[in-house]
Chains A and B, each alone.
Chain A
Amino acid sequence: MAAKKFSELPASEITPEHVYLNRRNFIRAGLVAGSAVATGLTYKFFNPQPAQQVATAEIAKIETPKVVSTVGEPNSFEDITNYNNFYEFSTDKRAVAQKARKLITRPWTVEVGGLVQKPRTFDIDEILKFPQEERIYRFRCVEAWSMVIPWIGFPVKSLLDQVEPLGTAKYVAFETRYDKGAMQSSFSAGIDFPYVEGLRLDEAYHPLAILATGLYGKQMPNQNGAPVRLVVPWKYGFKSIKSIVKITLTDSEPSTTWNLAGPSEYGFYSNVNPQVDHPRWSQATERRIGELSMRDTLMFNGYADEVAHLYDGMDLKKYF
């Protein structure tokens, strides 16, 4: 059949120009809106909002601290509990709070042994019975940010005294719980688990070194290392190991996680030191969370008067 001649096409079959344009504009508006939503969702997928706050129980009896150590306004509970390095859960500091909800903290025991007279396993409730006091400390991360945190805790020495370390004990090794089911970090986290840390015995005995069981008068939130963690305020934050299940007294320097991952970047001591830079970035300044510009980092994180004597005669560039 021959095609209709153009002139025979009834005028009614031609789409009027304004309808055609409307349809095109409609499709274009849809494209703009649809792609905008898709782009927005992609952005939100890669940059999720921090989780809502997890509430923990109040700690009943908090004593007045015997060691008053820090000046400065503490950071908000919200900031302290939503910006965490806890690689077992995530390498994204903003994502840890949500993922750490899976951590089961009861029942919980801490096995204390090694070179001690009386090895003993403490139940978390026994640990919470040590006289708890508030310690407001500066906290300086090796990543060059810092906070001021009102910890609740007690001296490491109080716990160690109960197991009576032997004269041969020179170091204390700590180990974090490793629960593969709850701790599903990125396969590319780059460090091995369980997380391990260590101190020299005299460092552990220093009155500023505490086992922290809470912050802001409440029991420790999971993301901050529930139910009990170490806090050593003159060292970079990664030394303050979280969620401790094992403490071992040893006569040789224990392995530490970040030192194993990068021996040239993270030493055993890892004292806060503005004069010794990380090989890749400066440690001379830090960003206090809540502030916009950088501030100077202080020697031993501002605790030089209290702790500098521990390192008399040591080359801190060598023992970084």
Chain B
Amino acid sequence: MNDVRFYKLLISVNALIPLGLLLIDASNGRLGANPIEFFLRTTGVLTLTFLLITLAVTPLRKIFGWNSLIKYRRMLGLFAFFYGCLHLVTYSIFDKSLGFSAIVADVIQRPFIAIGMIAFTLLVPLAITSTNGMVKRLGGKNWARLHKLAYVAAILGVIHFWMIVKSDIFYPALFGVVLATSFFIRLVWPKKQAIQRAIN
């Protein structure tokens, strides 16, 4: 196994550990008094976490010159999408009993649901166009432009989280700060220096 394949395996194992622990706790009845709420919240937080890790790849390359990280970005983004799917499916089944009209009504009436739904919807074309074939078909420039939607999804994700907490905004604020920092680095970190460091 070459190094890239090994690191992909390493990332996959670690990305699936939270899900594994969640399922083990669930099967032992150890998610607490409100297991659905816990599952929903945890998958939501994991979605945001993987989105932020994905968006941290470019800043990390710029600062530390870890250019090889780019090889793992697609995979990290797909894990964000994976947890987002789990989050949406949990909500649809347990909160809405798979009632399509109830979900639509929720999206219309609840801004935080609408924002979460838009964020998820934005991830769908990104997941679909994540294959090498699609990159070629779209052309690098178009593909890159399309995938800027990931930033929008992350911002909406943080707002979605912020809107549902009752009064303690610590965690949504933390995600917001991390996201803002990564945007800041992306915008202001001088390119030249990044290249210099990459060479060193």
Contacts and interface: CB of A to CB of B under 8 A. Distances in A.
A82 B14 CA distance: 30
B36 A287 contact: yes
Given A190-B166, A294-B95, A49 B106 contact: no
Secondary structure of the B contact surface, majority rule: helix
A253 interface: no
B168 A91 contact: yes
A93 B31 CA distance: 12
Interface in B17-56: 17-18, 21, 30, 32-34, 36-38, 42
Contacts of A50: 32
A282 B33 contact: no
B34 A145 contact: yes
Contacts of B111: 280
Contact of A261 (B6, B42, B163, B167): B167
Given A36-B14, A80-B33, A83-B32, 14 more contacts: A47-B42, A50-B32, A79-B33, A82-B32, A91-B170, A94-B32, A188-B170, A189-B167, A190-B166, A190-B167, A287-B36, A289-B33, A290-B33, A293-B97
B146 interface: no
B167 A43 contact: no
A40 interface: yes
Nearest to A277: B109
Q: Which 7 A-B pairs have the closest CB atoms?
A: A190-B167, A83-B33, A91-B168, A79-B33, A188-B170, A39-B14, A39-B17
A71 B127 CA distance: 49
A191 B168 CA distance: 8
A83 B36 CA distance: 13
Nearest to B95: A294
Interface string B81-106: 00000000000001101000000001
Contacts of A188: 168-170, 173
Interface of B: 6, 9-10, 13-14, 17-18, 21, 30, 32-34, 36-38, 42, 94-95, 97, 106, 109-112, 163-164, 166-170, 173
B169 A190 contact: yes
A44 B13 CA distance: 16
A40 B168 contact: no
Contact of B6 (A28, A79, A189): A28
Contact of A292 (B30, B94, B166, B167): B94
A188 B177 CA distance: 15
A306 interface: no
A237 to B, nearest CB: 12
Contacts of B37: 145, 287
A32 B10 contact: yes
Interface of A: 28, 31-32, 35-36, 39-40, 43-44, 47, 49-50, 75, 78-80, 82-83, 87, 91, 93-94, 143, 145, 186, 188-191, 261-262, 277, 280-282, 287, 289-290, 292-294
Contacts of B112: 280-281
A28 B5 CA distance: 12
B56 to A, nearest CB: 16
A268 B18 CA distance: 41
Contact of A91 (B14, B30, B32, B167): B167
24 contacts: A32-B10, A39-B14, A39-B17, A47-B21, A50-B32, A75-B33, A83-B34, A91-B170, A93-B32, A94-B32, A188-B168, A189-B168, A190-B166, A261-B167, A262-B167, A280-B110, A280-B112, A280-B164, A282-B109, A282-B110, A287-B37, A293-B94, A294-B94, A294-B97
Contacts of B167: 87, 91, 189-191, 261-262
Contacts of B109: 277, 282
Contacts of A44: 21
Contacts of B6: 28
Contacts of B34: 83, 93, 145, 287, 289
Contacts of B164: 280-281
Contact of A32 (B13, B33, B95, B170): B13
Nearest to A80: B33
B161 to A, nearest CB: 12
Contacts of A282: 106, 109-110
A31 B34 CA distance: 35
